[in-house]
Amino acid sequence: QQPVQSPQAVILREGEDAVINCSSSKALYSVHWYRQKHGEAPVFLMILLKGGEQKGHEKISASFNEKKQQSSLYLTASQLSYSGTYFCGTEPAVEVTFGIGTKLQVIP
Amino acid sequence: EAQVTQNPRYLITVTGKKLTVTCSQNMNHEYMSWYRQDPGLGLRQIYYSMNVEVTDKGDVPEGYKVSRKEKRNFPLILESPSPNQTSLYFCASRWTVNTEAFFGQGTRLTVV
């Protein structure tokens, strides 16, 4: 079953912040985050393992609450290059199941 | 360079004509998967493989076959393609569970 992402779409002005949420109905071992630019393959951002560790990647960070089976991706001081579709992927077992995605557009 | 290579990148075919989309990785990864991407539905897993000769169904396996005879290759076979299989397909590989996935460039398939 696919994890649920929210919001489905968001428009930001450069420099603004955004949060993308991901929740699953299953217990999780890990949560992945990927970004896909139009016409390209998804690219890995980060993975969070059980333990609630928060990870960071430049101005993009994420948290994972395995008790609530939820993860959030935080984009701070957004740049034009952050535009794309963000997918969370959850691992309840050995496979990775992706959400529908959140389309993020950063405008000048 | 570490990569996942899919071929072809674009394919237009007719209903019922068998086709194979190839996927090869050069990272010695154990795990490989196939996904299809459709507007509004995200990435849905078709099949995955945890090792040579070990494959399992994902969420949308109907109409597809896979094989894993060698560690590096994981072809996707459509025995009798239908228009509802028109989609963007991605192959992905990763070392093991809880590790990042590397995606191929994608194959845009149109079945008429």
In degrees, rounded to 5, the angle at the alpha carbon of residue B93 between the alpha carbons of residues B5 and A58 is: 100
Condensed to tens digits (0 to 9), the pLDDT of residues A60-84 reads: 999 898 888 899 999 999 999 999 9
Distance from CA of B57 to the nearest CA of A (A): 10
pLDDT band at A26 (very low <50, low <70, confident <90, very high): confident
Give the B window 1-30 contacts with A, CB below 8 Å. Answer: none
The SS3 of residue B84 is helix
Query: Could you give the maximum distance between any two Cα atoms of chain B, in Å?
Result: 39
Distance from CA of A3 to the nearest CA of B (A): 11
Please answer whether residues B55 and B67 qualify as being in contact, where contact means their C-beta atoms are separated by less than 8 angstroms: yes
Query: What is the DSSP-derived secondary structure letter of residue A2?
Result: P
Q: Measured on CA atoms in the order B67, B70, B75, B80, is the torsion positive or negative?
A: negative
Q: How far apart, in whole angstroms, are the C-alpha atoms of residue B61 and residue B100?
A: 23
DSSP bridge partners of B43: B37
Condensed to tens digits (0 to 9), the pLDDT of residues A39-60 reads: 899 999 999 988 766 666 678 9
Position B42, amino acid: G
Interface test with A, best of B30, B94, B98 (most A CBs within 10 A): B98
Say yes or no to pLDDT of A106 above 70: yes
Between A41, A49, A98, which is nearest B104 by CB? A41
List residues of chain A with CB under 8 Å from any CB of chain B: 2, 29-30, 32, 34, 40-44, 47, 49, 87, 89, 91, 94-101
Distance from CA of B38 to the nearest CA of A (A): 9
Give the B window 73-92 contacts with A, CB below 8 Å. Answer: 90
The pLDDT assigned to A105 comes to 97
Q: Digits of tens for pLDDT over chain B (112 positions)?
A: 889 999 999 999 999 999 999 999 999 999 999 999 999 999 999 999 999 999 999 999 999 999 999 999 999 999 999 999 999 999 999 999 888 999 999 999 999 9
Condensed to tens digits (0 to 9), the pLDDT of residues B38-47 reads: 999 999 999 9
Between B42, B101, B106, which is nearest A44 by CB? B101
Count of CB atoms within 10 A of residue B20's CB? 13
Q: How far apart, in whole angstroms, are the C-alpha atoms of residue A55 and residue A61?
A: 5
With b meaning 16 or more CB within 10 Å and e meaning fewer, what string describes B34-71? Answer: bbbbeeeebbbbbbbbbeeeebeebbbbeebebbbeee
